[in-house]
Structure 1
Amino acid sequence: MKDKLWKPMVNGDGAALTITRKLPGLVGLVLLALGAAGFGGAAKADYKLCNKTSYALSASLGFVEEENLLTRGWWRLRPGECKTVISADVQPGRYYVYAEAIPGHRGDLKTWSGETPLCVQNDSLFTLRDQSVCKEDPQRTRDFNAVDVTGEDGGNYTTDFTDENNYTTYQAQIAGVQRLLSDVGFDIGTIDGQLGATTKSALRQYRRSRGLGQDGVVDNQVIDALITEANNEDAKLGFFFCNETMLPVWAAFAQPADGSEGYRSSGWWLLDSGSCAKVRRGALTAEPYYVYGIMQAEDQELTLAGGDTQFCVAAVQFDARSDIACEESGFDTARFRRIDTGGEKAWTFVFRAEQFNQDLVQQADQPAPEPAPAQ
């Protein structure tokens, strides 16, 4: 049987998923749902994921194995590619699927998702058998879509990732090459899934300039080269946090709101000692950005000093606009430190221990903070 998923959802740059339920309780509900869906009958099945979009995707799957809810990923799906992700000992029941576009694609991050938050490993291949890890690091949560596989599906199941164009796999492959060529700076005209003269010309130029041959052939070699180049370019852009303290730091970030006036604050990123995280994708704009952090020092929490602009925060993962009344909307407030990037396309803010070694009482005696800025 084949299942079509889904029109893409768009997350703004650096967007944080909002967790409204505690994960242990949610996992219990998921396991009950899995049991109710009929796990238990033996059946041989192949589970395939097919990418029928113009985006290169990273995909993940959730399912029950030996009574544990397991998530596994990431599978790289080239545009137009189908890949078997389960090939043996697959039983009917409820599965959970999620995919997101690779970071090298321009524009807002696009996801193919649902309503069930499960845990992933952000930056590497993974198999997770303990969903409680997201309690400590909520940025590892993704919203998966539920897929029910029955014994009537004939032993095979395919989930298609689609978009509004309803491409065939061949059209998706061509559209993906077009999008990737555009991502790395080549003029391909319209992304339409047609291998026309403009696309062929751009493809020949790319292959010649990268030492990949003289023709305009679309193959896995050129697609993989384009994906690598697009991701490498993206890695040079954005706003990054790095923790050079000896202790964990919980970090939050405020940036101009997409498509409207004002700012939005989001968090939390858990930064272990020596670790870094990208909190905003793409080239930075000229507007200031704002940072906030809490360092866990034994039995107390030390806040980042130097903050002069107030934004909304919460005790759990959050995303809040600056044009709301924080307290009335269920948020707390915190003073964020202003960062002027001077027009740079990338910036790294480094948390250091001395930035937190300020007398908290002195901070309380400072003048009232400025309100959150508007664009």
Structure 2
Amino acid sequence: MMRAVMVLAVLVLAGIFAPQARAGEVCNETSYYVDAAKAWGGENGISAQGWQRIAPGSCVRFSGIPSGAPQFLYARTSEAYLGGAREWLGRTPVCVDRANFQIEGAQDCEAMGLEQRDFRQLAPSERARAVLVEPDDFGSRALEAGVQRLLQTLGYEVRVVDGFAGRRSRNQIAAFERDAGASFGSNYERLIERLHAVALERNREVGLNVCNQASVPVGIAIARQRNERWQSRGWWRIESGSCMRVIDERLQPGEVFVFAQTINGGNSEPLRRGVEAFCVAPGRFTSEGRANCAERGYTQVLFRPSPVPVEGIARVTLEEADFEDLVQ
């Protein structure tokens, strides 16, 4: 999935708290559920483990990290929220997997079928306990802010996410309880768990889903109109026999075009039967506009329109016949 990047700070706690903190603890003082991963340096390079899901206002502990080793942290919002993932990141590239993982000293992410994410190096005072924050510093109000954020995500009338449970928030909680057929009283932990579960279920397939039934991996690029201006972006790698949701927003007819090419050593083959020209680049890219590709350092290729979405969902299945030389 493409990243709607929000580069946010990791709060550095004063060293006086380190002796009381549990080793490797990461706390979430944002209004989002996040999935976090930690990495550390060693003789064999950088190792990493993830993912641990952290509710707003909660903490988790990462274990098995060597004492004194340089540590790195990355986090992203869960798939409960529309509009692309928000990330807490840095500048150190680390190999990660899409599912839960423990990776020892990986260096060539692509060769191992892994993804790369940019981790932030933690200060020594953060190794025992680091805190994820937003520009709005919710602090102890993170749980209430998280409830408001999920109510808003689910379409309930919450105008401001501020962590203060006023009358409007209480009214919308009551509306959700009626819809869910359950009462949570003052148990905000149970309430936010249910809100998150409902949002995940609703968002599970909304957007553009691409499945690869070809015999080799493919790279995917998309083009769509954003604020009356065309933008093309890539790449997403999809293994043979796998599927990926590359857009997680509700789609409208005619909004998205798709390009794909095989990843097969040096023998890349493009998607056939494209009709609309957009710009692409060999590595990860975002191109604003669709004209003058070559002059701007891009290559012009032909994209296909995505299928007409049904209730905001469009599905593309790529097969052998979609690529020129694979069927010869």
Confirm or deny: 8 A CA contact 2:4 2:86 kept in the other structure: no
Number of the residue aligned with 1:230: 199
Deviation at 1:359, TM superposition (A): 11
Aligned partner letter, 1:57:
V
Q: Which runs of 5 or more structure 2 residues have no equivalent in the other structure? A: 6-20
Is 2:67 aligned against 1:85? Answer: no
Deviation at 1:80, TM superposition (A): 0.7
Deviation at 1:90, TM superposition (A): 4.0
Aligned partner letter, 1:105:
Y
Deviation at 1:229, TM superposition (A): 1.2
Q: How large is the RMSD of aligned CA atoms in angstroms? A: 2.9
Equivalent in 301, 315, 339 of residue 306 of structure 2: 339
Q: Which runs of 5 or more structure 1 residues have no equivalent in the other structure? A: 1-12, 18-43, 361-375
Number of the residue aligned with 1:254: 223
Number of the residue aligned with 2:86: 110
Higher deviation after alignment, 127-136 or 329-338: 127-136
Number of the residue aligned with 1:165: 136
Cα-to-partner distance string for 1:140-179 (whole Å, 9 max, x where unaligned): 2222111121xxx5x973211111221123x010010111
Deviation at 1:130, TM superposition (A): 4.2
Cα-to-partner distance string for 1:187-226 (whole Å, 9 max, x where unaligned): 234221112222223223323443433x532332222221
Aligned partner letter, 1:73:
G
CA distance in 2, matches of 1:204, 1:65: 51
Distance 1:162 1:73, change over 3 A: same
Distance 1:108 1:268, change over 3 A: closer
Confirm or deny: 8 A CA contact 1:139 1:268 kept in the other structure: no
Is 2:184 aligned against 1:221? Answer: no
Deviation at 1:346, TM superposition (A): 1.0
Is 2:28 aligned against 1:51? Answer: yes
Number of the residue aligned with 2:10: none
CA distance in 1, matches of 2:71, 2:291: 38
Deviation at 1:298, TM superposition (A): 8.4
CA distance in 2, matches of 1:353, 1:184: 39
Aligned partner letter, 1:336:
F
Distance 1:157 1:251, change over 3 A: same
Distance 1:137 1:271, change over 3 A: farther
Confirm or deny: 8 A CA contact 1:201 1:216 kept in the other structure: no
Give the TM-score normalised by the residue count of structure 1. Answer: 0.74
Question: Equivalent residue of 1:303, what SS?
Answer: coil
CA distance in 1, matches of 2:263, 2:119: 31
CA distance in 1, matches of 2:4, 2:167: 41
CA distance in 1, matches of 2:27, 2:172: 26
Identity %: 25
Question: Equivalent residue of 1:176, what SS?
Answer: helix
Number of the residue aligned with 2:37: 60
Question: Equivalent residue of 1:198, what SS?
Answer: helix
Number of the residue aligned with 1:127: 102
Q: After the TM superposition, which residues 180-199 of structure 1 pair with which residues of structure 2 at under 5 Å, given as runs? A: 180-199=150-169
Equivalent in 263, 270, 273 of residue 230 of structure 2: 263
Deviation at 1:330, TM superposition (A): 2.6
Number of the residue aligned with 2:119: 144
Distance 1:324 1:141, change over 3 A: farther
Number of the residue aligned with 1:370: none
CA distance in 2, matches of 1:89, 1:254: 41
Give the TM-score normalised by the residue count of structure 2. Answer: 0.84
CA distance in 1, matches of 2:83, 2:239: 29
Question: Equivalent residue of 1:131, what SS?
Answer: coil
Distance 1:185 1:288, change over 3 A: closer
Confirm or deny: 8 A CA contact 1:50 1:83 kept in the other structure: yes
Task: State the number of aligned residues.
Answer: 312
CA distance in 2, matches of 1:343, 1:77: 32
Confirm or deny: 8 A CA contact 2:36 2:75 kept in the other structure: yes
Confirm or deny: 8 A CA contact 1:62 1:72 kept in the other structure: yes
CA distance in 2, matches of 1:51, 1:359: 48
Structure with larger Rg? 1
Equivalent in 145, 148, 164 of residue 178 of structure 1: 148
